[in-house]
Amino acid sequence: MGLMRSLFAGVSGLRNHQVLMDVIGNNIANVNTIGFKVGRVTFAETFAQTLRGSTQPLSSIGGSNPMQVGLGMSLATIDTIFGQGNIETTGQVTDLAIQGKGFFIVSDGKQRFFTRAGSFQFSSDGRLIMPSNGLAVQGYMANSAGEIEAGTPLSDIVLPPNLKVPARATTRVDLAGNLDASAQPLGTILSSKRLYAREKSGDGSDVEGLLATGVSNTVISGMIPNNTTITIRDSVVGTKTYKYVEADTSVGNGAFHSLDDLIAEINNDFGSSSFTVTLNSQGALEFSDVSGASNVLSITSNNALLEKALQSANGDVNAGNLTTDRFSHVAKQTDKLVDLQDENGTSLGLANGDEITINGLLGGNAINEYALAVSGSTTLADLATAVETAFNITNPDGVTIDPSEGTLVINGDGGKAYEITSVDIRADDTPGAGGTARDVFNTLFDSTPGNWEQVQEAQDVEKAASYTVFDSQGNPLDVTIIFKKDVTQPNRWTWEAKVDEPAVITGGATGTVEFNSDGSLKAFRFDDGSSRLQIDSGLGGSDLLSLELNVGAKGDFNGLTQLSSANSAPLIVDQDGYTMGVLQNISIDSFGRLTGSFNNGVSKVIGQIALADFTNPGGMERMQDNLFSQSANSGIPQIGTAGININASIISGAIEQSNVDLAEEFTKMIIAQRGFQANARVITTSDDLLSEVTNLKR
């Protein structure tokens, strides 16, 4: 009989379930070990003893199955399960977790190891290491331009102490934004002194606003419709009162609005037997006697200004004609030049046969002298047209006569290019050279300071974009580009670059930018044929700056545009220069790129962490400190970067937790315990059977 086969089967079960407990115990022990990967045990049946072989079926009977007795069990595998562990956020930049496949690569300078535990730190010499053992994290270091060149060897990730970036001279400036298509430049507006014209029969001017000269020397004001009155008394007819109204269209109603109305009413009441009144050539009311006897005239008004203007006509009209103050109205465009007066009622002195010459500066340049011949029919409107022609004014307002002030108003075209200055309008009594000056006219319209009131200064539509560029030593230079709307051509702006001293522009300082009718860019040009803006910083020791001004592609709207928008302006969106910068902090992206942020605003890639993957990661050998090493069955490491060669991403500020499932491990523990107990029972039962055999001899 020998020893029973079941005894050895039970022993194998005990021994191998003990190994299962060892693996479970190790899993549970590492439940909080970062990057730990759970182990798994599988069993296999050992050899089986054949008691009878199998037979094949015959023609009359079927075959028989083999008779075999198993001899126990053995360990098949102890596997490492590389399932994803939970990601825990830590907030520390150098804590890294892999989401997906792959391993971090660490090295002692001789041998490479692999790990999922990404709790890294920078050592005193700037190397990124595992702080538990000092192994350096491997990756690819960028060059001075922040680029990782193809073929860069795998090496330690090193962040040099006091890392800085050198200054970089600006070579390109990107301009964008909008130049307001609806913006209109302002033109010069000049206004002469007030002009009056002698009131004549038929003018019908409102009494309110008439200039009275002689006694009162004032402008009639305070006339209240249906309230202000004039009372006339004489020795023949008696007393008549006339009322001021807004408008009067008939005679005999005792109402008046103009001097013509008043004359008609007076003549209607007094003209047949007492006296008549006319408006004489000087613009005064002149009373003439028709009674042939003493006839004392008295004129009063409840408007003091009007009464004073009429008071010189009081007296005995039979003794001689009586006249009031002279009346003038605010000049109108239809008034004759020969009838014009200044604000004191003095005639400008113009006469038939005079000549008016017009001179001045347009955009800083002298205009061609323009001459206007004066005749008895030449009007103030004719003078306005002559001034408009002389200064080549094209806007609809041109030169006008202010209806309330009687001033000649020059409305120049918009922009400094059409700025009107030094207006000099003179008159004399002889066409051509020579002649006697018309001094009263000239003192109103010549270029003497104070003659022309500047109501509005000519202004261009200007938009400025300012920015800071850097020379080769990192010295900052402030550059401003001023865009000015070209009033001579549509859809075109001129531009000029300016710099602060001691810097000077040595080339490409001015130019033009043109737009298509839809507002997109058409052309950007330099006046001197340059292709770049060239600047000497004036500080010495640095290279000359040569700047490309990038305003966008032709026909595009991504750069500089010209569209109607009041709340818009050109702006500098980028420039590629900077001063020296010292590293402030780092960040690590999902591709494992370490990017340094410097105090000059520059961000630059310093290096990139490498990952490794294996054809059979389960074939790797476990080592201490959460490390794995390559084995004969793992395959060679496939080294690359996250998201590019390796299907994974790196999460900064986080670590990967153990993938141990405690519930599963406790369940396996129960199974292992029951398996161990059952195998122990097999041994004890086999022992009891052997005891019965030995007792047969009693």
Q: Give percent above pLDDT 90 in the chain.
A: 72
Token reading at 659: 């993938």
Give yes or no: residues 241 and 390 share one domain: yes
Enumerate long-range contacts of 391-397, CB under 8 Å, 24 or more apart: 391/358, 391/360, 391/362, 391/367, 391/420, 392/362, 392/367, 393/418, 395/187
Residues 225 and 149 grouped into a single domain: no
Residues 6+ apart with CB under 8 A from 309: 212, 214, 215, 216, 218, 220, 324, 325, 327
Tell me, what amino acid is at 368?
Answer: N
Are residue 631 and residue 674 in the same domain, yes or no? no
Look at residue 594 in the predicted model and tell me its pLDDT: 95
Mean pLDDT for 462-477 is 90
Does 187 map to a domain? no
Residues 210 and 61 in one domain: no
Q: 547 lies in a domain?
A: yes
Residues 103, 221 within the same domain: no
73 with 104, same domain: the answer is no
Contact 235, 295 (CB under 8 A): yes
Together in a domain, 20 and 123: no
Q: What is the domain count for the chain?
A: 4
Please report whether residue 455 resides in a domain: no
At 698 the pLDDT is 62
How, if at all, do strands 172-178 and 560-561 pair? parallel
Question: Considering 529, 549, 579, which residue would you say is the last residue of a domain?
Answer: 579
The answer as to whether 523 is a domain residue is yes
The predicted model scores a pTM of: 0.65
Domain annotation covers residue 9: yes
pLDDT > 90? residue 304:
yes
pLDDT tens digits, one per residue of 101-118: 999 999 999 999 999 999
Q: Would you state the pLDDT for residue 691?
A: 77
Q: Is the pLDDT of residue 1 over 50?
A: no
Instruction: Provide the 3-class DSSP secondary structure of residue 4.
Output: coil
pLDDT of residue 237: 94
Same domain flag for 385 and 237: yes
Q: pLDDT digits over 190-202, tens only?
A: 999 999 999 999 9
User: What's the domain range around 479?
Assistant: 172-182+461-579
Question: What b/e sequence results for 146-162 when a residue is b if at least 16 CB atoms lie within 10 Å of its CB, and e otherwise?
Answer: eebeeeeeeebbbbeee
Q: Which of 399, 417, 448 is the last residue of a domain?
A: 448
Q: Could you read off the pLDDT of 555-583 as tens digits, one per residue?
A: 999 999 999 988 888 888 888 888 998 98
Both tokens of 17, joined, read 């379930």
What does the pLDDT read at residue 3?
Answer: 56
Are 48 and 118 in the same domain? no
Instruction: Inform me whether the pLDDT recorded for 608 exceeds 90.
Output: yes
**Whether the predicted pLDDT of 542 surpasses 80:** no
Domain end position, chosen among 525, 545, 579: 579
Task: Say whether both 501 and 594 belong to one domain.
Answer: no
Could you tell me if 386 and 370 are in contact, meaning their C-beta atoms sit under 8 angstroms apart?
Answer: yes
Query: Residue 144: how many CB atoms within 10 A of its CB?
Result: 8
Is 640 found in the same domain as 680?
Answer: no
Best CA proximity match to 579, nearest among 473, 485, 497, 507: 473
User: 28 and 45: one domain?
Assistant: yes
pLDDT at residue number 493: 94
User: Does some domain include residue 454?
Assistant: no
Residue 573 maps to a domain: yes
